[in-house]
Amino acid sequence: MKPGLSLRVSQHLALTPQLQQSIRLLQLSTLELSQEIGQMLDDNPFLEVSEESSEREEFGLDQGDAPVAPAEREAEMGASVAQDYVSVPDAPSNDDSVTPLTAEDGQSWDGDGTQEIAADDGEWGGDAKAHGNNLDSDGDVDAGELARTHETLQAHLHAQALATRLGDEDRVALRFLIESLNEDGYLEDSLEELAASLSPADDEELEQLQHHFRIALITLKGFDPVGVGASDLGECLRLQVQALQRALPADDAQQEPLAVAMRICSQPMDLLARRDVRKLSQLCGASDAAIRDAMVLIARLEPKPGRRFVNVERNIIVPDVLVVQVGSGANVRFRARINPQVMPRLRVHDIYANALRQHRGSGSDASNYAALQQRLQEARWFIKNIQQRFDTILRVSTAIVERQKNFFLHGVLAMRPLVLREIADELGLHESTISRVTTAKYMATPLGTFELKYFFGSALGTESGGNASSTAVRALIKQFIDAESPKKPLSDNQLSEMLKEQGIACARRTVAKYREGLRIAPANLRRAL
């Protein structure tokens, strides 16, 4: 073939660095965003935290900037991805209207964006009373107030070890065992393995280590919580049963069930998990009634002694959006606003920016000037993308509150089917943008704090031709199970029939999937003894 030149015209999507940063910030959680802001404050000298709002004119921007049209934004950022970041036009200035999130056009922002949604009681009745609000008058949530002093299991055990009368070697061995416990309070490794891990010089030293460990383990098993230091579940339960036996008089009526419980805990745990009364009766030499009474006692024991020492502080959630109730009765409204505790107040350092504006380098200073000018532009981009992130979260949250307003009035059973596509079409955003917004973002409501994804659920058909939300169906299944007879729990097939009586078509395997999602045991394991 003969070589030649040819031209070809094609279109492709190019993401600018600004758009890439905007997409990345949008999908970050509150904690990740805080870390990102801290990193940017350390790296960029032009960025600073502001206690007050800076003026828009400070950086040559007036307050009358017109919103960017979708077509213009697409031309600037490229292709369909850009439609996700269209500015919101200013709303009319009346009390019942939507108040857009105010900002300093990327230079400084501490606005308090609020949007108010009127409750629609046409379907559920105008006299329905809303649940009480668990927020304060301003709807602010202070994460510091939720934090509590946490004591680890190891610290709790070390404090008890101080009161023991042990030799120096035994005390060191006890400390080593305490540090070897897992978070549930179990000693997973054997004493021989622990001693060998210290690499003793000879067999005599190994035997001495094991001797000290045995003495320390006996002492550890007497500590609070009862059951700590056990090697498995059976031993943990036996230690707790023994503690109950020692606490009761020898002639107490509960001594006999406790003795049977001790024998049950010495058997394989799978028999207890299956509640195989007949097999346990044969192995323990007790009647079926005695086995059932003993199993009731065992059910009250703690299988994980270290459970209450787990650090619950890491599970504290700071909501991104607050939903507060306004008015009462038929005039109930719900207002969505960004949590001021998570809104960063950032601005460009005016002294550095003015100094850079006045000094334009030449020659060798030109490269330095260009680098500083780039860092200044990065700071402006970062502030604007932060503003855009919270603006998008607020818009999505407001649309969710509007669609699910009956949930805030009547609870989870009033949840309506909702998919990401509906919110995306309503706001003119891409479905992937809605997915990023609703991931790891939380909303504090009068009914509790929920992830934004909680308000989305698939639709199940009803006899009337309408649709029921899968979230509402889960709540209905839980309601049925809570009201069932403990001696005759409802099977998945019975739950499916009960849903059909309510006009909801839900197959048995779908009921089983929802039940497992609710972490509810099957009927044979829910049966009371």
The whole-chain average pLDDT of the chain stands at: 79
Residue 313 has pLDDT above 60, yes or no: no
Q: What is the pLDDT of residue 312?
A: 57
Residue 39 has pLDDT above 50, yes or no: yes
Taking a C-beta distance cutoff of 8 angstroms, is the pair 277, 292 a contact? yes
Q: What is the pLDDT of residue 148?
A: 52
Residue 362 has pLDDT above 60, yes or no: no
Q: What is the pLDDT of residue 199?
A: 83
Model-wide pTM > 0.85: no
Q: Write out the two tokens for 300.
A: 């009250």
Q: Write out the two tokens for 68.
A: 């960017």
**Distance separating alpha carbons of residues 338 and 323, to the nearest angstrom:** 9
Confidence of residue 315 (pLDDT cuts 50, 70, 90): low
**Distance separating alpha carbons of residues 416 and 420, to the nearest angstrom:** 13
Confidence of residue 52 (pLDDT cuts 50, 70, 90): low
Residue 221 has pLDDT above 90, yes or no: yes
Residue 113 has pLDDT above 70, yes or no: no
Confidence of residue 146 (pLDDT cuts 50, 70, 90): very low
From 2-11, 26-35, 170-179, 211-220, the region with the lowest mean pLDDT: 2-11
Distance separating the N- and C-terminal Cα atoms of the chain: 86
**Distance separating alpha carbons of residues 472 and 235, to the nearest angstrom:** 42
Residue 215 has pLDDT above 90, yes or no: yes
Residue 501 has pLDDT above 60, yes or no: yes
Residue 32 has pLDDT above 60, yes or no: yes
**Distance separating alpha carbons of residues 305 and 54, to the nearest angstrom:** 54
DSSP string covering 100-131: PPP--TTSEE----EEEEE---TTT-TTPPPP
SS3 annotation, 242-291: HHHHHHCCCCCCCHHHHHHHHHHHCCCHHHHHHCCHHHHHHHHCCCHHHH
Taking a C-beta distance cutoff of 8 angstroms, is the pair 357, 118 a contact? no
Q: Considering only CA atoms, which of 445, 406, 456, 471 is closest in space to residue 317? A: 445
Q: What is the pLDDT of residue 466?
A: 75
What pLDDT digit, counting tens, does each position of 55-81 carry?
333 333 333 333 444 334 333 433 333
The alpha carbon of 229 is separated from its chain's Cα centroid by a whole number of angstroms, namely 31
From 41-45, 300-304, 363-367, the region with the lowest mean pLDDT: 363-367
**Distance separating alpha carbons of residues 300 and 227, to the nearest angstrom:** 13
Strand partners, 47: 348
The residues near 1 (Cβ < 8 Å, ≥ 6 apart) are: none
Exposed/middle/buried for residue 352 (C-beta within 10 Å: 0-12, 13-18, 19+): middle
Exposed/middle/buried for residue 355 (C-beta within 10 Å: 0-12, 13-18, 19+): exposed
Q: What is the pLDDT of residue 468?
A: 84
**Distance separating alpha carbons of residues 73 and 89, to the nearest angstrom:** 14
**Distance separating alpha carbons of residues 239 and 305, to the nearest angstrom:** 11
Taking a C-beta distance cutoff of 8 angstroms, is the pair 384, 440 a contact? no
Q: What is the pLDDT of residue 317?
A: 82
**Distance separating alpha carbons of residues 335 and 368, to the nearest angstrom:** 49
Q: Tell which wins on pLDDT, 360 or 473.
A: 473
**Distance separating alpha carbons of residues 55 and 108, to the nearest angstrom:** 8
Q: What is the pLDDT of residue 329?
A: 75
What pLDDT digit, counting tens, does each position of 273-293 carry?
888 899 999 999 999 999 999
Which residue segments constitute the domains of the chain, with CATH numbers given?
17-144+317-412+426-436 (no CATH), 153-220 (no CATH), 233-309 (no CATH), 458-526 (1.10.10.60)
Q: Which whole number is the average pLDDT over 255-260?
A: 93
SS3 annotation, 423-443: HHHHHCCCHHHHHHHHCCCEE
Q: What is the pLDDT of residue 121?
A: 41
